[in-house]
Amino acid sequence: MITKETIRDWFVELQGNICDALEKTDGKGKFISDPWERAGGGGGVSRVITDGNIIEKGGVNFSAVFGKTPEPVLKTMNLPVGDHPDFYATGISIVLHPVNPMVPIIHMNTRYFEMSNGIWWFGGGIDLTPHYVNEEDAKTFHVHMKAVCDKHHPSYYPAFKKWADDYFFLKHRNETRGVGGIFFDSLKAENGFTKESRFDFVKDVGSAFAPIYTSFMTKNSALPYTEKEKHWQALRRGRYVEFNLVWDRGTKFGLDTDGRTESILMSLPPQAQWVYNYQPPAGSAEQKTLSLLKKEINWAG
């Protein structure tokens, strides 16, 4: 039988495995471990890496929190605000900001949520945010994500790829955050899916993270770059900040449930820039990247 403790323990193991793989590939950076407690119940461990050979700043965070469901969360779920059932939420959240602009930013989140009224669901996803879109890397990434999805159901990849396109979209900029990936939420027992099958899928998504990202670290971290590319990286990091602070539901959920602010905002880069009405030169690599930041590109072929 799958319990919230079973799921929690697997996320703890996943956190350790991912941190080990990232440290080994980086070759210099080491994760610090920062346990924390939530006043309303539960807590977590934030593991943060800085000043590595490849990763400038990143975090692999675990949490397991519980208590009375906050009113903003009930409203989001269209549930009566007067009931205040208990909730339990656990998961892993990862964001990595590389030194080299040719290495993409990556994000992953896998989570489980349940309430004392019997409601439960899984959510999560992985998406890739290159500073410079390398079409070969984008295809490799999506083929990998499709294989993970196809193992569990043929409907998963097309549905979750579209969900990622729609979710990781900066409406105020009319551009996607990156080349997308997969995103899913509210996966419950329905249409033949069980808690076991949903959890098996989430485990495969989590296990896919380290192999695919460490391959990009190894492939791209030695590529040359200049201050021009670093400036563009800072501008693209600015877009990342905009999404996380304006649109990201995970950020809002964490703050609404009195999560640890330092851990929630770990996703922000060490430096970012905003230049008024910046327009990259026509025909430049920067302009090409902007042209590829749009929905519905069939990267998996």
Calculate the CA 104 to chain-centre distance.
Answer: 13
pLDDT at residue 104 in the model: 98
Domain presence at residue 275? yes
Domain presence at residue 297? no
Contact 183, 168 (CB under 8 A): yes
Domain presence at residue 296? no
Nearest-5° angle of CA 258, CA 262, CA 267? 110
User: What pairs with residue 182 in β-bridges?
Assistant: 126
Domain presence at residue 93? yes
The CATH code of the domain that includes 171 is 3.40.1500.10
Domain presence at residue 277? yes
pLDDT at residue 39 in the model: 87
| Distance from C-alpha of 34 to C-alpha of 21, rounded to nearest angstrom | 19
pLDDT at residue 82 in the model: 65
| Distance from C-alpha of 144 to C-alpha of 293, rounded to nearest angstrom | 20
Q: Positive or negative CA dihedral for 213, 217, 220, 224?
A: positive
| Distance from C-alpha of 94 to C-alpha of 240, rounded to nearest angstrom | 14
Domain presence at residue 131? yes
| Distance from C-alpha of 47 to C-alpha of 233, rounded to nearest angstrom | 24
| Distance from C-alpha of 264 to C-alpha of 251, rounded to nearest angstrom | 6
* Burial grade of 211 (CB within 10 A; 0-12, 13-18, 19 or more): exposed
Domain presence at residue 298? no
Site of tokens 């400036």:
231
Question: Where in the sequence is the domain holding 114, given as residue range(s)?
Answer: 4-291
Contact 117, 85 (CB under 8 A): yes
The three-class DSSP label of residue 201 is: helix
Q: Positive or negative CA dihedral for 25, 29, 35, 39?
A: negative
Which residue in 183, 15, 190 sits closest to 119, CA to CA?
190
DSSP 176: E
Active site residue 231: no
The rounded average pLDDT for each run of 10 residues, N- to C-terminus, in the chain (301 residues) is: 95 98 98 93 96 97 90 70 82 97 97 92 97 98 98 98 97 97 96 96 98 98 97 98 92 81 90 96 97 97 86
pLDDT at residue 79 in the model: 67
* AA identity, residue 114: E
For 49-67, b/e burial (b = at least 16 CB within 10 A) is: beebbbbbbbbbbbbbbbb
- Reading the block at residue 182, the tokens are 């997969």
Backbone Cα Rg of the chain: 19
Q: Which of 84, 97, 107, 153 is catalytic?
A: 107
Domain presence at residue 168? yes
Q: How many domains does the chain have?
A: 1
* Burial grade of 144 (CB within 10 A; 0-12, 13-18, 19 or more): middle
